[in-house]
Every structure is written in structure tokens, then in C-alpha cells.
Amino acid sequence: MLSIAVLAPSADCAARVCQTLERLGHRCESFGDLQALVDAVEDRPLGLVLMHGALGPHGAGLQAIRRVRAAAGPSLPVIVAADAKADEVAALEAGADAWLPPSASAALLQARVQAMLRRRVDELSPVPGDLVCGPYRFDRRGRQVALRGVVVPLRLREYELALLLFQNLGRSLSRERIVEALWPRAVSVTSRTVDNHIRRLRSRLQLSGANAYVLDTVYGIGYRLAAVHERDDSLPVAR
């Protein structure tokens, strides 16, 4: 069972929300600050994010929603319980999937969460079997990748990037294509962010040729993952 992450302005508020959801058998994790929530979203699969009282003064809450959406990617549902009906449009435009007033009844909160989780289950249920490429095995349901039988510790976005690359073996992917696939709603993802993810992935998955695959930087384009014996020497790549 995937956990529901709850960001709340106080421990009492978080406890009330978690108690309401746990009555339906859900598992909750509460967070008192935004950075801890973002770290969790990037680090492991979650079922849903509930940001309670997320919209504060001076647009800080909207920026918080954008940060969570950028970390979560497109598929993780984000519900915002904000202060006023006028905030609903701003919250949805910032990346929320659904809006509730903070004073929503327990029954309405439970119903909205159940509806979003049903959509989440529908998205996850048709996951095909493992993807195997030489010594690499992708467990697409568990969102893990193993190299020669040993699971490589990756953050969720790093796993998604690795899967994208292996699903496009032999193709050059631009940085824009990678951003579109992994951060479709983000407004502040730069090419440096992509480059840093690639650098860490190349190191952690040992994609320099020793394990039959090599991840090249293609000048003026982006990146290309290919089997060593299919490496295209005509491309302007960094060796």
C-alpha cells in the first residue's frame, strides 16, 4: 500500500487529517515542512499528496505547490486544502489536481481522497513486466533497477530518467524532451538540472561501457544511451 503524504501547518492538524484517512485503512506520513515533503516525494513512491492550508501570503503557498509538482512528476495526485474559494484556480494552475476548503467535512475529505486514489490505482495497474537490458533489470511496479542482481539505490526521478533512457536505446534525447517527460508541469527546471541527474545516473548505474551500455553526451542535442557495440561514432559525443 502506498502512503498518503500530508503537509499540515501544525502537528494537531496533521494528526486530525491522518486520523480521518486512517479510518479508511490508508497509511499516512505527516510532514511539518515543505523540504521534508519534497525529499520524500523524490525519494520513494507515494500514493497521494495532501497539502493542507498550503496557500499562504505573498504567493509562498503557490510556490510550494509548484515545488511539490516538480518533484512529483505528472502522475502523483496532489490535493490542496486552501483558504478561500478564490484560491482554487490559482492552486490548480500551480499544479494541484484537486482543491478542498480546509473546513471540509471528514466525509468529503475521505471521498475526494478515495476518488483520487482510484485514479492512481488505475494508472499503476497496467504496468507491464520487468524490462531487462543485459545486466540491468527494471522492476516497473516496484520502481527499482538492479545491476547484476543488486538493486541500485536511486531516487524516484533518477529511476524514471533511467527507464526513459533504456526505453529509447540508440536514440538521442534532447534536454527539452527529458524535461517534458519527467517534469511536465515544472516552470523552473533548467538544463543544469538535467545534466546533474544524468551525471549521477551515469555514475550510479556505471553507464560508461563496462556493463555493455554507455551513456554519451551528444553535443548540441542532449544524451544518448546505446549498447557499446551499437555506439554511433559519427555523433559528436563527449568521450
Q: Where are the domains of the chain?
A: 4-124, 131-238
Q: How far apart are the C-alpha atoms of 24 and 231, rounded to whole Å? A: 53
pLDDT at 58: 47
What's the pLDDT score for residue 150? Answer: 93
User: How confident is the model at residue 62, as a pLDDT?
Assistant: 81
Q: In what order do the strands lie in the sheet with 78-81?
A: 28-31, 4-7, 48-52, 78-81, 98-100
Cβ(24)–Cβ(17) under 8 Å?
no
- What pLDDT was estimated at residue 162? 93
* Per-residue model confidence (pLDDT) at position 145: 93
Secondary-structure class of domain 131-238 per CATH: mainly alpha
Q: How far apart are CA 4 and CA 48, in angstroms?
A: 5
**Torsional sign, CA 48, 123, 200, 69:** negative
pLDDT of residue 205: 95
- What was the pLDDT predicted at 65? 86
186 — phi, psi (to 5°)? Answer: -75, 150
Q: What is residue 191's predicted lDDT score, i.e. its pLDDT?
A: 82
Fold of 4-124: Rossmann fold (3.40.50)
User: 10-residue block means of pLDDT along the chain (239 residues)?
Assistant: 85 91 90 88 85 64 83 82 71 84 86 82 60 89 89 90 91 87 71 90 91 89 85 57
**pLDDT for residue 186:** 58
pTM score > 0.85 for this model? Answer: no
Can you give the three-state secondary structure of 48-95, one letter per residue? EEEEECCCCHHHHHHHHHHHHHHHHCCCCCEEEECCCCCHHHHHHHHC
4-124 and 131-238: identical CATH topology? no
CA angle 99, 103, 109 (to 5 degrees): 55
The whole-number pLDDT of residue 147 equals 93
Nearest to 178 by CA among 163, 93, 170: 163
Q: For residues 206 and 136, is the Cβ–Cβ distance under 8 A?
A: no
